[in-house]
Amino acid sequence: MIFLGVRRRCRLRGGVLLAEVVTQALAIDLSAYPRWLVVVVGTLCAALVIWILIKLLKVALWLLFFAVLIGGFSWAAWLLVQ
């Protein structure tokens, strides 16, 4: 709502570009494989992703640990020098 006067509406001239985007879905048919094989491969893939996330989290926590140590000792040294 505009209180300072009447607002002219902008009209679309030439259409909307994003309205013409075609959405395609990729579906993989796994019905040719035995169900147990699909479950085993899916379980192994999920375990691999979780293992990679654990390793990345471990590295991030070590970086945070050393950043806190370096920052704390630097701050203490700065206060000691002043």
For the cut 90, the answer to whether the pLDDT of residue 16 exceeds it is no
55 inside domain: yes
47 inside domain: yes
Percentage of residues in the chain having pLDDT higher than 70: 70
20 inside domain: no
H or E segment to which residue 58 belongs = helix 35-81
Could you tell me the two tokens for 21?
Answer: 């985007």
Domain span including residue 55? 32-81
71 inside domain: yes
**Mean pLDDT to the nearest integer, 75-81:** 96
70 inside domain: yes
Contact 30, 38 (CB under 8 A): yes
Q: How many domains does the chain have?
A: 1
Residue 5: what pLDDT? Answer: 60
Residue type, 33: Y
60 inside domain: yes
The CA radius of gyration of the chain, in Å to the nearest whole number, is 29
44 inside domain: yes
Residue 29: what pLDDT? Answer: 86
14 inside domain: no
